Amino acid sequence: MKVSRDDVVGVIASANVVENAAALRPSVPLVEQGVDSLGIFNILLLLDQKYGIETPDEDIGELRTIDSIVDYLNRRLA
């Protein structure tokens, strides 16, 4: 089953690091929408736990937007 934008937005909402996760623009970097580095850590941990993967530090650079996170997860889970 493919990971969707809604799946990732749902995880961001549960991380409680931004006022309204549903309003985030999917192709704009999260750090430009009020999510700081600590918030990113929490989102990545929740994603790792939800999908049973371990995202290495060196991959964080490519996880800047909701769309890039969706693509990354689908590649990892393929």
Partner 1 sequence: MIGIESVASYLPPGRINNLGRAEEIGSTREQVELRIGFRELAIKAPTETTLSMATEALSRALSSSEWGPSELELVVVVTQNPDRRIPHISADLHGKLGLPPRCACFDIGLGCSGYVYGLSVVSAFMAANGMSKGALVTADPYSRIVDQHDKNTSLIFGDGATATLMSSSPRFTLGSFTFGTQGAEADKLACNDGRLFMNGRAVFNFAATNVPLDIERVIAENGLTLDKIDRFIVHQGSRFIVETIADRLKVPREKMPFLAAQYGNTVSSSIPMILAETLADSDFQSAVLGGFGLGFSWASTVLQRQKVK
Which residues of the chain form contacts with partner 1 (CB under 8 A)? 16, 36-39, 41-42, 44-45, 49, 57, 60
Helix segments in the chain, DSSP class H: 5-15, 37-51, 66-77
Nearest to 60 by CA among 77, 78, 74, 41: 41
27 vs 37 by CB, closer to partner 1: 37
10 vs 39 by CB, closer to partner 1: 39
- Residue given tokens 């937005």 in the structure block: 9
CB of 36 to partner 1, least distance (A): 5
DSSP 30: G
CB of 60 to partner 1, least distance (A): 8
